[in-house]
């Protein structure tokens, strides 16, 4: 795997429509560290996770390979953005107490990234990655979304998407893993808001590039027959898969 940019085509939509993580996640993550000094949110995208870390850490550094994403990212106190790959970040040795990767671990070159975490992590630092897969709402909406996900844009998902489908459980991560609390993102959305989220999918971007047209409007017409009035609010849910714990190191300390 290598760092790949699938999301610069519309960074403002990514920032607007991607779901917000539960506040409880970040309180739990803060409890993993010995000292809440600096957190590094790698592959930060729109900075959503980074901004939610700021109440818990003295300093949060958020990095992303996409200059467009960083430009559109959310700002906040104690939050510093840099344009950088996760495999070579301009942070000092042994300067970071928590490393997080939200919904982006599958894009990184893990062996190189682990070496960089080894370099920047303080003794006792913690490491956390998480992702969410397919949303669910109601049986009828779920079936329509499944057909669009697997059928219409199915051939256009990048190969790395399989790792999200497997909830990151198959990755070898050098941590003393802690059992994470069961957390789910739950939002109340209108149909345009749901379609805005669907439009941020990497498969949709690849479909547009290959076919010269956006598949989301036609899907919106189909889904609208199930949804009802476009401004009707419905709850949707994304279960989180979290892997976190104290960083053990990808290589012996003497290496």
State which residues form the domain around 30: 8-247
The CATH number given to whatever domain includes residue 151 is 3.40.50.150
2, part of any domain: no
Give the pLDDT score at 14. 59
Residue 227: predicted pLDDT: 96
Note whether residue 206 is domain-resident.
yes
68 in a domain, yes or no?
Answer: yes
Give the per-residue pLDDT at 72.
85
Q: Give residue 6's pLDDT.
A: 45
Predicted confidence (pLDDT) at residue 255 exceeds the cutoff of 50: no
In the predicted structure, residue 1 carries a pLDDT above the cut 50: no
Residue 186's pLDDT band (cuts 50, 70, 90) = very high
Domain count, the chain: 1
pLDDT confidence bin for 19, thresholds 50/70/90: confident
pLDDT digits (tens, 9 = 90+) for 77-90: 899 999 999 999 99
How sure is the predictor about 18, in pLDDT bands with cuts at 50, 70 and 90? confident
Q: Is residue 90 part of a domain?
A: yes
Q: Look at residue 33 in the predicted model and tell me its pLDDT.
A: 97
The verdict on residue 254 lying in a domain is no
Q: Is the pLDDT assigned to residue 8 strictly greater than 60?
A: no
Q: Is residue 60 part of a domain?
A: yes
Q: What is the pLDDT of residue 254?
A: 43
pLDDT in the model for residue 3: 46
% residues pLDDT > 70 (the chain): 92
**Is the pLDDT score of 7 beyond 90?**
no
**Phi–psi pair at 27, nearest 5 degrees:** -65, -40
Whether residue 252 is contained in a domain is answered as no
Mean pLDDT of the chain: 92
């Amino acid at each position: 795997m290598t760092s790949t940019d699938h999301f610069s085509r519309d960074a403002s939509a990514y920032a607007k429509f991607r779901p917000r993580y539960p506040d409880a996640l970040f309180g739990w993550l803060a409890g993993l560290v010995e000292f809440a000094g600096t957190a590094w949110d790698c592959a930060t995208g729109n900075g959503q996770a980074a901004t939610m870390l700021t109440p818990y850490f003295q300093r949060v550094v958020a990095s992303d390979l996409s200059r467009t994403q960083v430009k559109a990212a959310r700002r906040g106190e104690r939050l510093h953005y840099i344009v950088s790959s996760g495999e070579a970040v301009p942070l000092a040795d042994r300067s970071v107490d928590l490393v997080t990767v939200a919904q982006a671990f599958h894009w990184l070159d893990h062996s190189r990234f682990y070496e960089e975490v080894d370099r920047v992590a303080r003794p006792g630092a913690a490491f956390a990655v998480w992702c969410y897969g397919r949303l669910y709402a109601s049986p009828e909406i779920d079936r329509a979304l499944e057909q669009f996900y697997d059928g219409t844009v199915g051939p256009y998902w990048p190969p790395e998407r399989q790792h999200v489908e497997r909830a990151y459980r198959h990755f070898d991560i050098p941590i003393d893993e802690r059992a994470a609390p069961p957390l789910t993102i739950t939002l109340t959305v209108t149909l345009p808001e749901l379609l805005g989220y669907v439009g941020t999918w990497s498969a949709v971007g690849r479909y547009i590039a290959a076919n010269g047209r956006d598949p989301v409007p036609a899907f919106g017409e189909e889904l609208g027959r199930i949804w009802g009035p476009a401004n009707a609010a419905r709850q949707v849910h994304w279960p989180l898969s979290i892997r976190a714990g104290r960083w053990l190191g990808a290589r012996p300390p003497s290496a």
